[in-house]
Amino acid sequence: MKLEASTLFKQEQIDLLIARGLNLVRFPKGLETIYKNLYRNGAALEFRYRAPIILGLYLYLCIGTYQILPTEIRSEWIMFYGWVGLIIFFAWFLSFIPTMNKWFEHYVCLGSVGSVALTFTLINVLEQGQNNVLFHAAMMYAIVIIYGFVGMRFYTAVIAGWCGGLIGIIVTTWLNISIDWTFLNRTYTFSSFLGMALAYAIDRQHRENYLQNCMIELNRIELKHQTEQLSILSNHDPLTGLANRRYLDKVLENEWNRSIIHQTSITIMMVDIDCFKQYNDTLGHLHGDDCLKQIANILNSVPSKNNDLVARYGGEEFLLLFTLTNEDQALIKAKYLMERIHEIGIIHPQSSISKYLTVSVGVATIIPNLNNSLSEFIAHADHALYIAKSNGKNQFHLSTSYKESHQVL
């Protein structure tokens, strides 16, 4: 039986369980509850395929027993022992009801108790001093199947096997029928200990396999997490958390080609922090790094679509990519961006423009075709930024193939 691994088991818990061993075939209370719920679902699913085999063995045994029974008691035997077949069939039916999975061990345990009790009682009722080996073989079949084939955990199987025998003894005694203890010890008792050993080995193996699956799942999750971290590190700037130049180039090319195919507009903004060298020289690089992070957070709040992107282009320069954005929308975004930066009011003691830190923005918008070049489009935005800075900084400038405009805040 292969159980779905649970991430609720932590690596430290698994290591501790392995170090202690599974000789008691039981996890600590909280972990046992997790395992029990998973086990019941898996055992119920597997019982759907095991039950027909159990029914086949039961029918084979019934046919053999029927053939050696005296004619006068055959109908009586079928009437009573047929209940065992009904118990198996009913448990099989319940295993197909998902809501009954949590009760799997309960109904198969009760069914197993009833089957052992019936078999035990019928042996003593029908044997009548004959010591027929086939009767006792039926008992051994039932015991071994219950312990090793039904799918109960070790302690549940022990309860089912011994309680069934105890009830059989009580009923047989109540009917004033003698019990051949020597023969029963060689069959019922022996097969019970054999079944217990089998159930113990199976339960322990299931638990070991489950812990191994949990370790594999934890390793898989950790490996996935590390892969994601590596992907983030390879595609993002470590200081600001924005996309880096490498990832930007890839996305730009993809969006450029998509815009050509669908003939949709695309906009880029080149953003540069004004007088950033003086800011660094005056306040130090730690304040400079903090400033870059604050600006990056503001820039990251401007995109509104999944395909939009903000990247650190180099030093104190950033690039924003907007898909499906025309000139009017681009100007609104540029104005909003500059207003946000003015709102946070980062003090710049050495700026010749303002007592607060400011930025200059170059904007370019186009509906590209096969005759256009992505590098030329980026150059348009870069040139627009150059014009914004040349005109006094603290402003944005829009550049297209057809017209240019600028606004100072």
359-366/395-399 β-pairing: parallel
pLDDT of residue 132: 60
Place of tokens 């949990």: 214
**How many Å apart are CA 92 and CA 108, to the nearest integer?**
9
pTM confidence score = 0.58
CATH architecture assigned to 245-408? 2-Layer Sandwich (3.30)
**How many Å apart are CA 333 and CA 269, to the nearest integer?**
10
198 to 148, 303, 374: CA distances (angstroms): 6, 64, 72
Kind plus residue range of the DSSP H or E element containing 360: strand 359-366
pLDDT of residue 70: 74
pLDDT averaged over consecutive 10-residue blocks of the chain (409 residues)? Answer: 64 73 79 85 89 87 77 78 88 92 92 88 66 68 84 90 90 83 80 90 86 83 84 84 91 94 94 92 90 93 86 93 92 92 90 90 93 92 93 88 45
C-alpha torsion sign, points 162, 168, 169, 171: positive
Per domain, the residue ranges of the chain are: 11-222, 245-408
For residues 364 and 267, the answer to whether their CB atoms sit within 8 Å is yes
In terms of C-beta density within 10 A (0-12 exposed, 13-18 middle, 19 or more buried), how is residue 36 classed?
A: middle
Say which DSSP state 221 is in: H
Q: What is the DSSP string of 174-191?
A: HTT----HHHHIIIIIHH
Q: What is the DSSP string of 235-261?
A: HB-TTT-SB-HHHHHHHHHHHHHHHHH
Q: What is the DSSP string of 108-164?
A: HHHHHHHHHHHHHHHHHHHHTT---HHHHHHHHHHHHHHHHTS---HHHHHHHHHHH
CA 397 remoteness from chain centre:
49
For residues 127 and 138, the answer to whether their CB atoms sit within 8 Å is no
For residues 267 and 329, the answer to whether their CB atoms sit within 8 Å is yes
**How many Å apart are CA 65 and CA 54, to the nearest integer?**
16
